[in-house]
Structure 1
Amino acid sequence: MHHFFVTPCQVEETEIFIEGSDVNHIRNVLRIREGEQISVSDGHNNTYRCRLDRYEEDKAILAIEDRLETDRELPARIYLFQGLPKQEKMEWIVQKAVELGVFAVIPVEMKRSVVKLDEKKAEKKQKRWQQIAESAAKQSGRGYIPQIGKVRTFSEAVRQAEELDMILLPYELERGMEESRNRMALAAKAGSVGIFIGPEGGFEQAEVEEAEKAGAKRISLGKRILRTETAGLAVLSVLMFAMEE
């Protein structure tokens, strides 16, 4: 069943209306006809099973058949603070992080980031990443579209993370899997978790120290050094598995 998102104001007592570019997608790309079923979420974890009732100019009118009780969101809010990677890796990271249940992704310009974005380019990239997040949320049947934040400096990201219950920082120089397992287990029980991932060149020592002063806990992801586009997803996978209980 195809899945779409609307705002709560588009949900009425017995009907939901869809507008904008989604209408063209439903009518001309997917070719959904009257009577066919569609799944709709209002972005606040409310999901409805509907059938297409009719098209009205630039709107698709759906009749609500049932409100689904299934909850596909994790019990905790996970924020991925991702060091800006090269090329188009960020698009892949956003897509997979959304599939794994991330609450928000915050791109971070770090000292070893090769990519440097001016304000105009950063805004354009953010819009593109948000579109990818929405598509991934639709594909994975989520009840919420994760937000892709503005590109932040490392210090700005750390200040934002200070408000969270726990901060994890996978670090290639960290040793000792037992302590890392303990910290991951604590994070799985927290209400909000921040994950800091360095860019291709890793973290500068000063960045690690700044994060630790804000309460970040270093963890090891094993004996192998993971790429920036792999490390965050590895942590997310472990947390998702633990939190799904």
Structure 2
Amino acid sequence: MGLDIVPEPRVYLDTALHPASTLALPVDAARHVTRVLRLRPGMPLTLFNGEGGEFEAEIAEIRGQTVTVHIGQYRDVDRESPLTLRLVQGISRGERMDWVIQKTVELGVTRIEPVFMARSVVRLDARRAILRRQHWRGVAVSACEQCGRNRIPEVANPVSFGEWAAGYRASDPDGAGHPPGISLLLQPGAKRRLTDIAYTGGPITLLAGPEGGVTETEAGRAVSIGFMPIVLGPRILRTETAALAAFSAIALHWGDF
């Protein structure tokens, strides 16, 4: 008979954490701990702040809406992918975009860049774009809480495809001085498959279209800035499936699967 192991609940806190200290949880975290996780005094949990590593902790007291935790030992735990993975995702409708962000974070993506493409149904003004980015970052945080990652992937501001393409450098996509990697465009009908790509290291950037895919004009622009079109088999994948399938295959070939 198998043994069911229930992992300790994990909670992200955007603050400095120190061993052998006591901390009152922020309102949202306190509500999550009591109403969703249903923790009680004396019960264990794990805290992390996105800077790497995690902390053992225990619920010390619950008084009204105030939850106090005692922070214990620091654990130098790294569950990051050995690959630097970036996703440039054509913005799709609400739940589909949330799904892509959640699942690619679970698969180890390092940075997510949402872009408005010709076939994107969603259009956002400046205010709504800010709110949507905050929402997407919340999705990424929740995914890290669930999957055990201790670093939060960056979610960039949503921009138009043209603006994104104008600022993209295939050899150093985020300007961080990384060595050249590979830039892949998911495109049905492309001649190359992932297994045809010679990967020798560096960041892997993946461009996936929204509902309806990438237009010929967008594909041509992507190729002109260094992207290689690849196909994921003979079937047409939905926008919420394509990036997940690609990153899974990448992890299997070159990562930690």
Compute the TM-score of the two structures, normalised by the length of structure 2.
0.83
Tell me the residue number matched to 1:202: 213
Tell me the residue number matched to 1:181: 195
Which of 175, 185, 197 is residue 169 of structure 1 equivalent to? 185
CA deviations on 1:63-101 (whole Å, 9 max, x unpaired) are: 31x332432111222111111123531111111111111
Structure 1 residue 110 corresponds to structure 2 residue 117: yes
Moved more, 53-62 or 191-200: 53-62
Query: Structure 1: where are the runs of 5+ without partners?
Result: none
For residues 128-147 of structure 1, what are the structure 2 equivalents within 5 Å?
Answer: 128-147=135-154
CA deviations on 1:175-197 (whole Å, 9 max, x unpaired) are: 243xx3132x51xx533221100
Moved more, 77-86 or 16-25: 16-25
CA RMSD of aligned residues (A): 2.2
- Aligned mates of 1:117, 1:244 — CA distance in 2: 37
Secondary structure (helix, strand or coil) at the match of 1:129 reads: helix
Moved more, 116-125 or 157-166: 157-166
Shift of 1:219: 1.2
Secondary structure (helix, strand or coil) at the match of 1:48 reads: strand
Query: Structure 2: where are the runs of 5+ without partners?
Result: 1-7, 174-180
Compute the TM-score of the two structures, normalised by the length of structure 1.
0.86
Tell me the residue number matched to 1:15: 21
Query: Is residue 126–residue 149 contact of structure 1 (8 Å, CA) maintained in 2?
Result: yes
Tell me the residue number matched to 1:50: 57
Among all aligned residue pairs of Structure 1 and Structure 2, give the percentage whose two residues are the same amino acid: 30
Query: Is residue 161–residue 194 contact of structure 1 (8 Å, CA) maintained in 2?
Result: no
Structure 1 or 2: more helix by fraction? 1
CA deviations on 1:102-129 (whole Å, 9 max, x unpaired) are: 1122111112222222222222222222
- Aligned mates of 1:166, 1:152 — CA distance in 2: 22
Moved more, 44-53 or 217-226: 44-53
Which of 72, 77, 101 is residue 79 of structure 2 equivalent to? 72
Which of 245, 248, 251 is residue 240 of structure 1 equivalent to? 251
